[in-house]
């Protein structure tokens, strides 16, 4: 039968089985006349001579399978189900001569696994059958679907993560009392802005726009800006501080940090940012700045040296006085180790350092150091530990005070007391000694008188010394406050001085040379000035015991644009060498060490005090054995207006 059927359509049986391995041929009685090899495997009961419907159940079209049905639906697909296995067949009937119908079908599966479960493989399908391709397409779509699910799950996880992050940021922003926003700069509207903006501006967040928000800014300070980078797609970022004036007129400071929003082409479409109320911080900063300026000014003006060191002992600040004390510019001092200051101060001293090393200098302790370069100076140093309340900052502050003058005054006082005691003791000893002689012995009248005269002379010297000391002390203490400055004709003052001068046992007259023309006018305390000139003239007499002219010359000249008058007193006396001239103004210094010339050694010291309080200077030119010129130079009060000026300077 099989051979008959295939012969009818002119195709060898083996060939049609290769092309349609799932075929079955039936006759007009629906009896099977031929079965494909693959069909026989999925429907073993489908044997030649059996009724087709015994093995196969028609699923489509509906109805009973008859030759009439097959004829009517000749060009339609017929679906059968193998009764035994449930495998579905999809195919088409082909009528060949002699009433033979071929059903050219193939089993339909939805997955490769179903094919294998049915005991088949894709190799059982003929090459023209698209089942393999359909399954591959299905499989590919399934894989793609799985991929999409996977990507979707991933995105879902990301979305959750983004939501969590957003919640965290929102909480953080809320905790920071900040306002987050997303501004669409193209449409000038906020895609989003926290409701908190209404608290800052007094304007409803729902109606807020970027340009409206900007209208609240009255001052903007740009803190930082980084432009976008087209190559990497990095958007521009900006940090600014804004002073805003709210609707109610109150002012606040807002800190804004923002970043551009770019579209896929890298064009800016908007800005996202955060606004933070930093009013309190700004106020504190301003207060801190004010305090800093105050402190800086105080430290700059302070004659004391200050240097601050950080917790590592590195110099972080020093004031100009400290700079001057070390002789090193601040730029070089910055970062110097506290301990290295030992070397710096050692280098400023030609002598062996006598100060305590910083290593040994205890905290909150003080010591004293002396340097010799550029000049001899003495400083006290105090090191204080500094510690902030929160322990966040620590370090040291070094405080240095220049005590050179104090130490010099101390030294001079000691020296002066020693000399004064010595000078007072000499006549006192004499007075005491001669008084004892008178008390313990009987002398004749002449001797008694001589002793009494000695006592008188020595006590007079004592009185002069004490008076001289008191004059100096008074002038030093008063600093000229008790002087009565008035305009005086210098010629008159000189004449008064010369007229009142009386040198016992010396008949020489002072040779006075006055300035030609109008007499110079000086602003002076007449009494003090006469005292000074008397002292100078008195010395000229005393130190020219062998005679010679005593001359007083008044000269006018100008120095540094100032009209001055010079009172020059010359003698041809014993004169002084340079060393003696340099010591002339020391108290109790006597150019006559023999003591033959009477005097207290205080006269020239007093002259200098008086002249300097008259804004004048004194110059001495002397040669041993040739005589001495003492020149007192005073400012000339040429205009009445100078009165006030001169007086004001004292």
CB of residue 103 to another protein, shortest distance in Å:
24
* C-alpha to C-alpha distances, 141 to 108, 112, 144, 147, nearest whole angstrom: 18, 14, 5, 9
Structure tokens at 204: 């409803």
* Site membership for another protein, residue 639 (CB under 8 A): no
Q: Which is nearer to another protein, 150 or 283 (CB)?
A: 150
Q: Which is nearer to another protein, 113 or 362 (CB)?
A: 113
The rounded distance, in Å, linking the Cα atoms of 21 and 322 is 110
Q: Which residues contact 375 (CB under 8 A, 6 or more apart)?
A: none
Q: How far apart are the first and last CA of the chain?
A: 153
Please choose, out of 94-102, 131-139, 305-313, 548-556, the segment that lies near another protein by the rule CB under 8 A. Answer: 131-139
Ranges within 140-199 binding another protein (CB under 8 A): 140-141, 143-144, 147-148, 150-151, 154-155, 158
* DSSP code string of 551-568: EEEEEEEEETTEEEEEEE
The rounded distance, in Å, linking the Cα atoms of 139 and 133 is 9
Residue showing tokens 């008058």 = 565
Please choose, out of 61-69, 116-124, 191-199, 432-440, the segment that lies near another protein by the rule CB under 8 A. Answer: 116-124
Please choose, out of 133-141, 288-296, 334-342, 584-592, the segment that lies near another protein by the rule CB under 8 A. Answer: 133-141
**Run of H or E including 634:** strand 627-635
* DSSP code string of 37-70: HHHHHH-TT--TTSBHHHHEEEEESSS---HHHH
Structure tokens at 376: 């001899």
Q: Which is nearer to another protein, 135 or 462 (CB)?
A: 135
CB of residue 118 to another protein, shortest distance in Å:
12
Q: Are 624 and 579 in contact (CB under 8 A)?
A: no
Structure tokens at 40: 């026989």
Q: Are 392 and 386 in contact (CB under 8 A)?
A: no
CB of residue 8 to another protein, shortest distance in Å:
33
- β 56-60/78-82 pair status: antiparallel
Q: Which is nearer to another protein, 124 or 277 (CB)?
A: 124
Helix, strand, coil percentages for the chain (3-state, nearest 5): 40, 30, 30
Report phi then psi at 619, rounded to 5: -125, 145
Q: Which is nearer to another protein, 117 or 176 (CB)?
A: 117
For the chain, the farthest-separated pair of C-alpha atoms sits apart, in whole angstroms, at 202
CB of residue 156 to another protein, shortest distance in Å:
11
Q: Which is nearer to another protein, 149 or 281 (CB)?
A: 149
1, 51, 79, 132: which one contacts another protein (CB under 8 A)? 132
CB of residue 19 to another protein, shortest distance in Å:
16
40, 112, 419, 512: which one contacts another protein (CB under 8 A)? 112
* Site membership for another protein, residue 131 (CB under 8 A): no
* Site membership for another protein, residue 135 (CB under 8 A): yes
Q: How many CB atoms lie within 10 A of CB 530?
A: 20
* Site membership for another protein, residue 115 (CB under 8 A): yes
Q: Which is nearer to another protein, 150 or 296 (CB)?
A: 150
CB of residue 285 to another protein, shortest distance in Å:
41
98, 133, 280, 364: which one contacts another protein (CB under 8 A)? 133
Q: Which is nearer to another protein, 133 or 410 (CB)?
A: 133
Residue showing tokens 């400012």 = 635
Q: Which is nearer to another protein, 47 or 144 (CB)?
A: 144
Q: Which is nearer to another protein, 87 or 193 (CB)?
A: 87
Q: Which is nearer to another protein, 126 or 320 (CB)?
A: 126
84, 98, 116, 263: which one contacts another protein (CB under 8 A)? 116
> 111: helix, coil or strand?
coil
- Sheet of 617-623, strands arranged across: 510-513, 550-559, 562-571, 627-635, 617-623
Q: Which is nearer to another protein, 115 or 632 (CB)?
A: 115
**Run of H or E including 240:** strand 237-245
> 382: helix, coil or strand?
strand
Please choose, out of 23-31, 119-127, 452-460, 528-536, the segment that lies near another protein by the rule CB under 8 A. Answer: 119-127
> 350: helix, coil or strand?
coil
- β 305-309/315-318 pair status: antiparallel
Report how many residues bind another protein under the rule CB under 8 A: 25
Q: Which is nearer to another protein, 151 or 223 (CB)?
A: 151
* Site membership for another protein, residue 136 (CB under 8 A): yes
Binding mask 224-253 for another protein (x = CB under 8 A): ------------------------------
CB of residue 397 to another protein, shortest distance in Å:
52
Backbone Cα Rg of the chain: 62
CB of residue 128 to another protein, shortest distance in Å:
12
* Site membership for another protein, residue 121 (CB under 8 A): yes
15, 47, 113, 176: which one contacts another protein (CB under 8 A)? 113
The rounded distance, in Å, linking the Cα atoms of 398 and 381 is 7
Cis previous bond, 61, omega within 30 = yes
Binding site for another protein (CB under 8 A): 112-113, 115-116, 121-123, 127, 132-133, 135-137, 139-141, 143-144, 147-148, 150-151, 154-155, 158
């Amino acid at each position: 039968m099989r051979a008959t059927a295939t012969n009818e359509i002119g195709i060898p049986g083996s060939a049609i089985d290769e092309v349609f391995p799932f075929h079955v041929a039936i006759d007009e009685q629906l009896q099977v006349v031929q079965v494909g090899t693959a069909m026989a495997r999925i429907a073993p009961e489908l044997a030649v001579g059996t009724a087709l419907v015994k093995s196969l159940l028609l699923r489509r079209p509906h109805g009973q399978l008859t030759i009439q049905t097959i004829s009517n639906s000749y060009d339609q697909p017929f679906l059968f189900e193998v009764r035994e296995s449930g495998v579905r067949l999809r195919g088409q009937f082909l009528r060949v001569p002699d009433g033979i119908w071929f059903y050219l079908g193939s089993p339909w599966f939805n997955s490769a696994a179903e094919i294998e479960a049915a005991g088949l493989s894709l190799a059982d399908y003929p090459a023209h059958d698209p089942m393999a391709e359909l399954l591959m397409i299905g499989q590919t779509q399934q894989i793609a679907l799985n991929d999409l699910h996977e990507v979707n799950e991933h995105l879902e996880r990301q979305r959750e993560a983004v939501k969590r992050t957003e919640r965290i940021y929102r909480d953080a922003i809320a905790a920071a009392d900040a306002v987050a926003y997303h501004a669409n700069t193209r449409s000038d509207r906020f895609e989003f802005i926290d409701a908190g903006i209404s608290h800052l501006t007094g304007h409803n967040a729902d109606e807020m726009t970027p340009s409206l928000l900007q209208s609240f800014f009255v001052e903007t300070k740009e803190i930082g800006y980084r432009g976008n980078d087209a190559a990497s797609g990095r958007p521009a970022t900006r940090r600014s501080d804004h002073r805003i004036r709210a609707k109610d007129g109150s002012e606040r400071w807002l800190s804004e940090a923002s970043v551009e929003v770019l579209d896929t082409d890298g064009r800016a479409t908007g800005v996202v940012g955060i606004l933070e109320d930093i009013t309190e911080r700004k106020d504190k900063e301003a207060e801190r700045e004010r305090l800093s300026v105050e402190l800086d000014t105080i430290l700059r003006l302070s004659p004391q040296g200050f240097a601050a060191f950080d917790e590592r002992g590195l110099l972080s600040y020093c004031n100009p006085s400290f700079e001057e004390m070390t002789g090193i510019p601040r730029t070089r001092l910055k970062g110097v180790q506290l301990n290295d200051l030992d070397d710096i101060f050692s280098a400023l001293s030609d002598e062996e350092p006598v100060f305590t090393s910083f290593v040994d200098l205890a905290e909150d302790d003080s010591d004293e150091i002396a340097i010799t370069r550029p000049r001899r100076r003495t400083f006290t140093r105090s090191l204080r530990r500094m510690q902030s309340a929160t322990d966040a900052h620590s370090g040291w502050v070094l405080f240095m005070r220049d005590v050179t003058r104090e130490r010099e005054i101390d030294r001079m006082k000691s020296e002066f007391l020693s000399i004064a005691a010595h000078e007072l003791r000499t006549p006192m000893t004499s007075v005491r000694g001669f008084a004892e002689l008178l008390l313990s012995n009987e002398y004749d009248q002449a001797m008694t008188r001589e002793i009494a005269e000695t006592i008188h002379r020595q006590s007079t010297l004592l009185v002069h010394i004490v008076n001289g000391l008191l004059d100096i002390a008074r002038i030093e203490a008063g600093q000229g406050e008790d002087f009565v400055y008035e305009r005086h004709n210098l010629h008159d003052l000189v004449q008064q001085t010369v007229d009142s001068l009386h040198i016992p046992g010396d008949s020489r007259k002072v040779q006075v040379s006055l300035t030609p023309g109008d007499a110079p006018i000086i602003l002076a305390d007449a009494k003090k000035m006469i005292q000074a000139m008397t002292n100078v003239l008195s010395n000229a007499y005393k130190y020219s015991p062998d005679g010679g002219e005593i001359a007083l010359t008044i000269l006018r000249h100008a120095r540094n644009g100032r009209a001055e008058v010079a009172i020059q007193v010359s003698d041809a006396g014993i004169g002084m060498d340079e060393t003696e001239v340099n010591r002339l103004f020391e108290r109790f210094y006597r150019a006559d060490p023999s003591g033959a010339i009477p005097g207290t050694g205080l006269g020239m010291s007093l002259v200098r005090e008086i002249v300097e309080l008259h804004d004048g200077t004194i110059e001495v030119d002397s040669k041993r054995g040739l005589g001495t010129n003492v020149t007192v130079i005073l400012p000339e009060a040429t205009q009445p207006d100078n009165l006030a000026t001169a007086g004001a300077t004292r």
